Structure 1
Amino acid sequence: MKRMKYLLLCVPAFFACNKELDVDKKGSYTTANYWRNESDAVDGITGIYNILLEEDFTGFGEFVYDNCSDDQYRAGDHPELADLEAFTYDASNAAVKAPWKWKYEMLNRSNSALLYIPAITNISADVKNRCLGEAHFFRAFAYWRLALIYGDVPMIMEEDIKNGTYNKAKSTIDEVHAQIEADLKAAAILLPESYDASQAGRVSKGAAWGLLAKLYLYENDFANTILYGDSVITNANYALQSTYAANFTPATSNNSEMLLNVQTLDGWGYSDFITYHAPRAWGGWDFFEPVQGLLDEFEDGDPRKDVCIMKPGDVINIGTGTATYTASLSSTGYHYNKFCAWISTGGLNYSFKYPLMRTSDIYLCVAEAKIRQTGAGAGDAEINALRSRVGLTPVSNAGMTALMHERRVELCGENERHQDLMRWDKAGIIDITTIYNKPKLTSSGAVIQAARTFTRPKNYYFPLPQSEIDKSNGVLVQNSNY
């Protein structure tokens, strides 16, 4: 059996320790003999959450795909990201390869939990159900990200763990979606609706319902999008925060609106996410810079613009004092303010729990499903719930143009824009080639990224990493057109 090295998660309350530790063992543990009692089950699930901290996964690697959108520029110093943004990448691109490993590691750990936890007897029913629900959710999440990025992918399940069958051919995206659906429905049954503060950050029924709503929207199943989305937006446990900014303030970034976020704690839990977003002069690494087109999308008087974007002339609290933001701090003249924070003694504040799925996203999924199913005006209530929060004039008889605007400004930088545009292009609502055939501009109007050519259907998905194709000895077949 495969030996396990658990990565202990560094988050408040239900986890503690440093990012990756080789633990002194009191014996020799294998996948099969590790799962003995409640403590083992909880620690095993902790190892799944910990993957979210990985730099090549949601700490950085998953977010580079949104550089393909029209909202942001890659910046930084990783040459492979230039090809990704320009749609000139191939199967050897490092950015295409890096997150693959961690998605399958999440699957491996989830499968092990689902295989062995049911046989544990020294465990309370509530904890057992919760652990199994968490494992079902994260298996679904890993497959969700795999399907979005690559399309058809190999599916590894419990039987494969038992039999050691890891070199498998691709399953179709419909088969992968069916497994995501089954896992999320199982998770929704097993998980609690909410937790007390000591368990903040665990996934709930709302996370499962929310991801189901997104899955069904991508399948054009509008009735089920509305059904599961309403389960989230009508439940007080997942209520919108009274202010937009509360979601991006470290002290309040664990809140009811956060259906799924990454638990970090300054001095213990560590993710590079905030480092990649902050200006280099102020302690960051200076990637993911907004472009002028995103700034132009905000309406006059929309307070989300100031929350989201650092602009020339803005006075920013950098912990030890304030500093005035200048265009020279960025290649584009802007940074994402919503993903930056500092501590009073100096340095970035790693206690910010950054979002992977918020209730506001689900409001807009429901609004889109209603508009596409019934017509303009059907999603007004959901759109206006977000607009009223920030004091904007309500929309009336809103169609897809208004919906697309609201998603762009509400969720900017949250790794949704490129996938949104491809979903709408597949539905014939927009022409993505026209959007991507416009250059990205800086605050001064200079071209920072030349016009790009998006090729249908090739660029709807990225290629499978060539190294995985090579290792499979012909079992894995590359995506078409690569």
Structure 2
Amino acid sequence: MKATKYTLGVLAVALSILSSCTEKFLAEAPVDQITDANFYQTETDAIQATNAAYSELTKEGQYNAAMWAFDIWSDVSSSGGDSGNDAIEYKQLEAYSIPTTNFIATRLWGGSFVALQRANLVIQKVPLITNISADIQKRCIGEAEFIRAKMYFDLVRAYGDVPLFTAPPASPSAVNIPRTPAAQVYAQIEKDLADAYSILPASYSGADLGRATKWAAAGLLAKVYITEGKKTEAAQWARTVINNSGKTMWANYGDNFVVANENNNAKESLFEIQFVNGRNQYDRNSVGSAMNEFFGPRGLNQTPGSGYGFNVPDPDFIAGYESGDTRRAVSAWVPGDVFPDGSKDPSTPITGSPYAYFCKKWFVGKVNTNIWDSPLNVPVIRLAEMYLIVAEAVGPTTEGLEAINKVRRRAFGLNYNNPSTAVDLTASTPNFINAVLRERKYELAFEFDRWFDMKRAQTLYPTLTDHALIPRMTAQAAFLQGKLPNVHGIPTQNTLVLPIPQSEIDTNPGLVQNPGY
């Protein structure tokens, strides 16, 4: 899939129903249009339809804008950008002053539902195709179930109760259904992933690299269960991946974020968002990643457009790295770091980043002349996270300690299979679960998980009111005068979910807005 990159993607999978005032026209099968009547006939049609569901992952509703918010909204980073309304959609989140028209809330909702409805079409139509091999038929259905589960997992964590569709709406009016209780949504996610695990292949080769495997389904299911607090099930599925997938962690943490290492079946990644370059210039709804440019050091000429400086690391986040943790140099630029051209990150404030910190994890430099167009994939699930899920699920047992310590040893440049008195946690480590959550914070930094972690661990509200983030907020607010009042706001219990987009409320009378909006 990295090679074909969804070029078949949006091949009219969002099919329209044509109308006419004459019976003759309605009686004739259109020969120059792709419709339900002439699509979903062959194996190629099934693959194209499945690719169309994947295609939303590279767009603004997912990993080219919306998902960035979940580190910016947490204690990892701030919006950055220029003055005025630059990055206003993220500044609104930071201020916990989120209008129901917020771009992030609107695009995450819309993009996720587009993808899951395309997946619904695959699940409904592909079983009816006769001109298809059994293996491809099963694979397409399993991939669609994985995508539907992934989208619903994002939606239910971000909005709470959401409308649950397990089939394409039969008519335009059938779209307007009320919100389904979150527990039912989670039950469907669990079902989809368990089924996907049972029918998806263990690996791919060639142009199919990047498709969801059974290990991607198992890994996401472990993540779903730990989110729900179902620790026994979470540990079971994480162990399934660790013990049976054949995956191993890279010896070097930074090797996870190198173009040459993408989709390596022998290593750490379980599922990646597939980006390629050379096909777009200023387009976050195509197949190139905009993160190299948007997150690049602002105005310092290290990227094709000289960098926009979004998603800047927070001072307390940088200060939290332990001495010797190699992940800092992979994830963030700090003053004194040397850029590829030999210049250094300056020690003076830069617009949007008063401490001259910048996100480095998705940096590829001047990869080409196209500005919003990086080829670097985004790992959604990695083997390291499976170890951290086991540690959180089983606590400071022998198994749990070894699991978290593998991740820590690798972080400090050590052989992760060899015990180390210097970095290993022990049974006497205080607040072990907090230690696991802290390890997730630094292991998965800028991989867009932190806000979800803080929310599920019920640490978001206390942290943002009582933690040393308050001095950071004060310093940033002083620096960012004129952008927004109270740039780093204090959340309330009513703002721990996003608002249902106003455009959806306006068109669907069955939707009820989240409290506080």
1:436–1:451 Cα contact (<8 Å) kept: no
- Residue 490 of structure 2 aligns with which residue? 453
Secondary structure (helix, strand or coil) at the match of 1:425 reads: coil
Q: Does the 8 A contact of 2:278 with 2:368 survive in 1?
A: no
CA contact (8 A) 1:437 1:453 kept: no
Query: 2 CA distance for matches of 1:212 and 1:469?
Result: 31
Deviations 1:2-22 (A, max 9, x none): xxxxxxxxx533446499788
Instruction: Give the structure 2 partner of residue 52 of structure 1.
Output: 57
Instruction: Name the aligned partner's letter for residue 196 of structure 1.
Output: S
Residues 11 and 52, structure 2, Cα contact 8 Å, conserved in 1: no
Counterpart in 1 of 2:262?
A: 253
Return the alpha-carbon distance in structure 2 between the equivalents of residues 98 and 152 of structure 1. Answer: 17
In structure 2, give the amino acid aligned to 1:35.
Y
The question of whether the paired residues in 2 share the 8 Å contact of 1:55 and 1:271 is answered with: no
* Counterpart in the other structure of 1:369: 393
1:395 Cα shift?
1.6
User: Offset of 1:49 from its aligned partner?
Assistant: 1.3
Gaps of at least 5 residues in structure 2 are 14-29, 280-286, 415-422, 481-485
Q: Which residue of 1 aligns with 2:42?
A: 37
CA–CA distance in structure 2, aligned partners of residues 220 and 22 of structure 1 = 40
Match of 2:19 in 1: none
Q: Is the 8 A contact 1:290 1:336 kept in 2?
A: yes
Q: In terms of Rg, which structure is larger?
A: 2
2:73–2:451 contact (8 Å) kept in structure 1: yes
1:380 to 397, 401, 406: 401
**Alignment-mate amino acid for residue 495 of structure 2:** N
Q: Secondary structure of 1:355's match? A: strand
Which of residues 314, 323, 345 in structure 2 aligns to 1:291?
314
Whether the aligned pair in 2 keeps the contact of 1:440 and 1:450 (CA below 8 Å) is no
Residue of structure 1 in register with 2:179 after alignment: 170
Secondary structure of 1:396's aligned partner = coil
Give, as a single letter, the amino acid of the residue that structure 2 aligns with 1:379.
G
Residue 278 of structure 1 corresponds to 296
Aligned 1:175-186 pairs, distance under 5 A: 175-186=184-195
SS at match of 1:414: coil
The corresponding residue for 2:470 is 438
Q: Which residue of 1 aligns with 2:363?
A: 340
Tell which deviates more after alignment, 329-338 or 64-73.
Answer: 329-338
Question: Any conservation in 2 of the 1:253–1:354 contact (CA below 8 Å)?
Answer: no
1:91 counterpart SS class: coil
TM-align CA RMSD: 2.8
Q: Which amino acid aligns with 1:455?
A: T
In structure 2, the CA distance between the partners of 1:162 and 1:187, relative to structure 1 (3 Å rule), is farther
2:32 to 2, 27, 31: 27
Q: Is the 8 A contact 1:150 1:462 kept in 2?
A: yes
TM norm structure 1 = 0.88
Shift of 1:231: 1.1
Q: Which moved more, 1:388-397 or 1:122-131?
A: 388-397
- 1:395–1:437 CA distance, 2 compared to 1 (3 A): closer
Instruction: Please give the per-residue CA displacement for 1:265-307, whole angstroms capped at 9, x wherever unaligned.
Output: 2214423233221124232332111011111111101111111
Residue 298 of structure 2 is aligned to residue 263 of structure 1: no
Q: How does 1:76-91 map to 2 (within 5 A)?
A: 76=81, 77-91=86-100
| CA–CA distance in structure 2, aligned partners of residues 436 and 464 of structure 1 | 31
1:425 aligns with 2:461: no
Where does residue 112 of structure 1 map in the other structure?
Answer: 121
**SS in structure 2 at match of 1:202:** coil
Q: Is the partner of 1:288 in helix, strand or coil?
A: strand
1:326 and 2:349 are equivalent in the alignment? no
Matched-pair contact (CA < 8 Å) for 1:439–1:450:
no
- Corresponding residue number in structure 1 for 2:247: 238
* Partner in structure 2 of residue 462 of structure 1: 498
Paired residue type of 1:34: F
The one-character-per-residue Cα deviations of 1:179-224 (angstroms, maximum 9, x if unpaired) are 1111111110111111124322111111111111111111111000
Number of residue pairs aligned between Structure 1 and Structure 2:
462
Q: 3-state SS of the aligned residue for 2:78?
A: strand
Secondary structure of the 1:45 match is helix
Structure 1 residue 446, shift from structure 2 partner: 7.3
- CA 1:19–1:175: 2 relative to 1, 3 Å: closer
Matches within 5 A, 1:391-402: 391=413, 393-397=423-427, 398=429, 399-402=432-435
Give the Å deviation of 1:71. Answer: 1.1
Alignment check: 8 A CA contact 1:278 1:340 kept: yes
For 1:388, the aligned partner's letter is R
Identify if the C-alpha distance between structure 1 residues 238 and 138 changes in structure 2 by more than 3 Å, giving closer, same or farther. Answer: same
* Partner Cα separation in structure 2 for residue 26 and residue 78 of structure 1: 46
User: Unmatched 5+ residue regions in structure 1?
Assistant: 1-10
Q: Distance in 1 between matches of 2:476 and 2:110?
A: 40
2:505 matches 1:481: no
Matched, 1:229 2:247: no
Superposition pairs for residues 11-26 of structure 1, below 5 Å?
12-15=2-5, 17=7
Over 3 Å counting, the alpha-carbon distance change for 1:451 and 1:211 in structure 2 is same
Identity %: 32
State the 1:106 CA deviation.
0.5
- What amino acid sits opposite 2:339 in the alignment? I
CA distance 1:207–1:411, shift in 2 (3 Å): same
- Bigger mean CA offset, 445-454 vs 213-222: 445-454
| Superposed CA offset, 1:316-357 (max 9, x none) | 22xxx3332224456331111111012466666722112222
Cα gap change, 1:344/1:278 in structure 2, threshold over 3 Å: closer, same or farther? closer
Q: Secondary structure at the match of 2:317?
A: helix
One-letter amino acid matched to 1:13: A
Deviations 1:388-411 (A, max 9, x none): 223362221241232122111111
Q: More displaced, 212-221 or 376-385?
A: 376-385
SS at match of 1:476: coil
Conserved? CA contact 2:10–2:52, under 8 Å = no
Q: Is the 8 A contact 1:66 1:416 kept in 2?
A: yes
For the 8 Å contact 2:289–2:375, the answer to whether it is kept is: no
| Distance verdict in 2 for CA 1:59–1:290, change over 3 Å | same
Q: Is the 8 A contact 2:74 2:450 kept in 1?
A: yes
Aligned to 2:507: 471
Q: Distance in 1 between matches of 2:496 and 2:210?
A: 32
Partner of 2:55, secondary structure, is: helix
Q: 1:161 to 1:443 in 2, by over 3 A?
A: same
Seen in structure 2, the aligned counterparts of structure 1 residues 19 and 196 have a Cα distance that, compared at 3 Å, is closer
Superposed CA offset, 1:92-137 (max 9, x none): 3222212211101001100000010001111111111111110000
